Chains A and B, each alone.
Chain A
Amino acid sequence: MDILSILFYLVASVIILSSIALIVVNNTVHAALLLVLIFFNSAILWLMLQAEFLAIVLVLVYVGAVLVLFLFVIMLLDIQVKKNISKKMYLLFSVFISLIMFIELYMVIFYHDFASIQKEITISELGNTYDIGLSLFTNYIFSFEVTAFILLVAIIAAIAINLNVKQRSLKQNPGKQVLESKESRLKILKDEEL
């Protein structure tokens, strides 16, 4: 067994064990920290597959931004840790479903000849980041711009959902003024009604 195999088995077993711990632990903070561990180990795995750029992006963007966001939300919400009252039936059901999926997909993996699509692995002279950039800015430039737009939409949506505007100062609302009609302000009363 060479050093890369040992590293693969170590990293993969850490990821699998901590993901099992993530789904059975009740404490949300512990789950978020386990997710950090899983993402770090996945970054190591991606480095072993020579995807350096994406490994760094995973650590910087995911661990640095998304999981910190998770931790912030957990901190802000003050959730009391409740005992998971999932019935035993649900646990059995979930294990059953995932076992069926595992067996089916395992058969697909083992009876498919993946060796036929494997090619000679060449290490790019220019580097992984250069290759991704070249592909991104030539063939996939439109998708790249759409992604930028999606991120803009996400920013605006996240702010708009949580923005509650309080009126602190007295100011005129021109739209409301224009929409105002005579009937809404003036009411003509007859003599008998007075």
Chain B
Amino acid sequence: MITMTHYLVFSLLLFCISIAGIFINRKNILLLLMSIELMLLSVNTNFIVFSHFSNDITGQVFVFFILAVAAAESAIGLAIIVALYRVKNSIEINLINKLKG
């Protein structure tokens, strides 16, 4: 029998793997965006697990909003990457220092 704890440990594992992914792939901005998508997925899974086991639909409504915002975020992120490539001719993160921050 699959209990709530199984699902929670699963989404915890997914979250920790994507945290490690952000550290490992800090050179490649596309893989960074993919790791962020993975983190959002694990958070959404957590929401759905709690929604299912406490018999409350609100968690699923929240996941709906998170999906919409995440889609907007990745669309703008990819647009910025394309614009950056046009200026710099590369998308390496250590070359992104235009603002001299």
Q: Interface on A for B, CB 8 Å cutoff?
A: 2, 4-5, 8, 12, 15-16, 19-20, 22-24, 26, 28, 31-32, 35, 38-39, 42, 45-46, 48-51, 53-54, 57-58, 61-62, 65-66, 69-70, 73-74, 76-77, 79, 82, 84-86, 90-91, 93-95, 97-99, 101-102, 105-106, 109-110, 114-115, 117-122, 128, 131-132, 135-136, 140, 143, 147, 150-151, 153-155, 157-158, 161-162
Contacts and interface: CB of A to CB of B under 8 A. Distances in A.
Contacts, number: 216
A19 B19 contact: no
Contact of A19 (B17, B33, B68, B91): B17
21 contacts: A16-B13, A19-B21, A22-B21, A26-B28, A35-B38, A46-B48, A54-B44, A69-B75, A76-B82, A77-B91, A84-B25, A90-B24, A94-B19, A98-B20, A114-B5, A119-B55, A121-B53, A128-B60, A140-B61, A151-B68, A158-B75
Interface string B56-91: 011011011101111111111011111101000001
Contacts of A79: 30, 91
Interface residues of B, number: 68
Contact of A98 (B10, B17, B37, B57): B17
A36 to B, nearest CB: 11
A20 B83 CA distance: 30
Contact of B6 (A8, A23, A61, A140): A8
B9 interface: yes
B96 interface: no
B54 A157 contact: no
B79 A119 contact: no
Contacts of A99: 16
Interface of B: 1-2, 4-10, 12-28, 30-31, 33-35, 37-38, 41, 44-45, 48-49, 51-55, 57-58, 60-61, 63-65, 67-76, 78-83, 85, 91
